[in-house]
Structure 1
Amino acid sequence: MPKPPIGRDTRLCMSLSGRPGNAGSRLHNHLYDALGLDYVYKAFSTTDLPAAVGGIRALNIRGAAISMPFKEAVIPLVDHLHATAAGIASVNTLVNDGGILTGYNTDYSAVRELLHAGPADPAMPFVLRGSGGMAKAVVAALHDLGWRDGTIVARNAATGAALAVRHGYRWADTLPGPGAALLINVTPLGMEGADANVLAFPVEMIAAARVAFDVVAQPARTPFISAAADLGKAVISGVEVIVRQAVEQFVLYTGVRPTPAQIVAATRFAHGDAAADQLALAFGLAEGRPA
């Protein structure tokens, strides 16, 4: 079914971010087109968060992705917190039902799904590097899935120690020696830009591990993921996180769940061939690209 032309009945979804990008808009709009849904998605920024959230209510905007620096500041402005957001005090998604706003955290949902279905298991000791907003979602998912032996490594003693204590893990300000079976990077190390060539963990730690998990999505294959794959380790990539969390937002807004093939096609349009090929492998789809 072709997507209807934009008209008065078209539902608007949006994102609010300190630094808006294009990837989310491209992915959501590609899926609207593929599924013939009368929706449109647009990225925004704001210097007045209360007014922006009031606009979501007043204009009946169906949903909004919430990015830094608004994930915690938006909490007092919503009517309800879903369990995915309440448990970590961080919101990355708003859903508007007739002027009633509910805050969700699909980062948590995506990470929990990947950990539950992926190559890691709760018997594996882990070392997680980072203590920011995304780290809160990952650590909560680990705890809720039954991981009990873990170390949070963060230079910020206040946030790192608090995150560790809250979930019953250890905190350290420097990396321990090799030994953890699961390594998780939740820092910008390896991200495009100044840290692009930085390896999140020493090769010795990667060699001793069994699973490497990197939340960095750009590039699709970070130095950490590349090193782990070259050493024959199982990997979970940031592309899997960023796309799966966006798909969960899409489902919350529309009530429609795309197929894996549709998700891979939307990822190719939004994030490029490397990300789409990596996601296709994760979904167990053919590696080859469409002609």
Structure 2
Amino acid sequence: MTTRLTIGRDTTLCMSLSGRPGSFGSRFHNHLYAALGLDWIYKAFSTSDLPAAIGGVRALGIRGCAISMPFKEAVIPLLDALAPSARAIESVNTIVNDDGRLTGHNTDYAAVRTLLERHAIAPSTRFVLRGSGGMAKAVATALRDAGFRDGVIVARNETSGPALAKALGFAWQRDVAGVRAPMLVNVTPLGMTGPDAQALAFDDETIAAAEIAFDVVAMPPETPFVARARALGKKVITGDEVIVLQAVDQFVLYTGITPSPEQIAAAARHALT
């Protein structure tokens, strides 16, 4: 791996904002910056003052900012424009700063569409999706746009859950009790590193009755849900697949450069180990 250039006044900064900052984005983007000889650097942050943080992105000329839970929807009023991917979903996971004009994008959506095709999941497959936040909007919309019609949104929030289901033509229920489907999709923090690390997104009986387990949690990639499904011989789609694809799209949006497949694979290995 090429050693990164010394940080100076001309170094371009990119960043991320998350309720639970992780190391993947920093490791992935910085690895590619070094491999491509770019005088760029990427740093993860959290904040309790989102408007001030976004003001800093604008005022300090920070080129790009990844947005994670719980800021994907709250950030929208703070931006100047939305790309079609974010406008359709009303959820932002990427901000591009063009001379002080901030545009929101959503690269999660494209990543999910790619994975559905890559894993050859038939649109006729019935699914249950747990979650109703910004990432859930991206995943559910990607499913709808890929031709999936038979689905249930499971969400405790009795405002966002029914609203998401109604907007996309799916059913809604408050909890997972008694729900069964060939494909289970977790779009909640359950199983994520932290206080929810040991939580199962779906119970054993529901997992046993399914055929496909799709977990968008990337850290760790082997969540309790994924581990249980894998042990039962189910087809598994993991969050690290999502996070790599969406990060590549972010990198291209920020830099205008498309890394080679070999460079992407090397950056992913570095970031995920």
Task: Give the structure-2-normalised TM-score.
Answer: 0.89
* Deviation for aligned residue 1:98: 2.2
**Paired residue for 1:139?**
140
Other structure's SS at 1:87 match: helix
Deviates more, 1:159-168 or 1:219-228: 219-228
Other structure's SS at 1:235 match: strand
CA gap of 1:70–1:205, structure 2 versus 1, over 3 A, is closer
* Deviation for aligned residue 1:171: 0.7
CA gap of 1:197–1:3, structure 2 versus 1, over 3 A, is closer
**Paired residue for 1:289?**
none
CA gap of 1:261–1:227, structure 2 versus 1, over 3 A, is farther
| Contact residue 119 and residue 234 of structure 1 kept, 8 A | no
**Paired residue for 1:77?**
78
Cα RMSD, aligned residues only: 2.2
Q: Distance in 1 between matches of 2:95 and 2:232?
A: 40
| Contact residue 119 and residue 211 of structure 1 kept, 8 A | no
Deviations 1:45-89 (A, max 9, x none): 344433433332333221111223332222122221011111121
CA gap of 1:42–1:101, structure 2 versus 1, over 3 A, is same
Q: Distance in 2 between matches of 1:149 and 1:220?
A: 27
Deviations 1:21-61 (A, max 9, x none): 33321221111111212211122334443343333233322
| Contact residue 125 and residue 149 of structure 1 kept, 8 A | yes
| Contact residue 12 and residue 62 of structure 1 kept, 8 A | yes
CA gap of 1:101–1:209, structure 2 versus 1, over 3 A, is same
* Deviation for aligned residue 1:92: 1.4
| Contact residue 151 and residue 170 of structure 1 kept, 8 A | yes
Q: Distance in 2 between matches of 1:147 and 1:71?
A: 24
* Deviation for aligned residue 1:178: 6.6
CA gap of 1:189–1:59, structure 2 versus 1, over 3 A, is closer
1:82-121 matched pairs, under 5 angstroms? 82-121=83-122
Residue type at the aligned position of 1:255: G
Deviates more, 1:111-120 or 1:23-32: 111-120
**Paired residue for 2:248?**
247
1:28-177 matched pairs, under 5 angstroms? 28-175=29-176, 177=178
Structure 2 residues without counterparts, runs of 5 or longer: none
Residue type at the aligned position of 2:81: H
| Contact residue 18 and residue 45 of structure 1 kept, 8 A | yes
**Paired residue for 1:5?**
6
* Deviation for aligned residue 1:176: 5.7
Deviations 1:224-275 (A, max 9, x none): 2122223332211011112222221111101222234333332333231xxx
**Paired residue for 1:210?**
211
**Paired residue for 2:233?**
232
Q: Distance in 1 between matches of 2:195 and 2:55?
A: 37
Q: Distance in 1 between matches of 2:127 and 2:211?
A: 10
Deviates more, 1:237-246 or 1:163-172: 237-246
* Deviation for aligned residue 1:3: 4.8
Q: Distance in 1 between matches of 2:46 and 2:180?
A: 43
Residue type at the aligned position of 1:113: T
Q: Distance in 2 between matches of 1:218 and 1:19?
A: 11
Q: Distance in 2 between matches of 1:223 and 1:200?
A: 8
Deviates more, 1:122-131 or 1:202-211: 202-211
Deviations 1:114-152 (A, max 9, x none): 123223121101111122222111111111111111011
Deviates more, 1:44-53 or 1:84-93: 44-53
Q: How many residues matched? A: 272
* Deviation for aligned residue 1:2: 6.6
| Contact residue 66 and residue 95 of structure 2 kept, 8 A | yes
Deviates more, 1:178-187 or 1:33-42: 178-187
Task: Give the structure-1-normalised TM-score.
Answer: 0.84
Structure 1 residues without counterparts, runs of 5 or longer: 273-291
Residue type at the aligned position of 2:55: G
CA gap of 1:72–1:198, structure 2 versus 1, over 3 A, is closer
Deviates more, 1:85-94 or 1:196-205: 196-205
Q: Distance in 2 between matches of 1:245 and 1:259?
A: 15
CA gap of 1:2–1:219, structure 2 versus 1, over 3 A, is closer
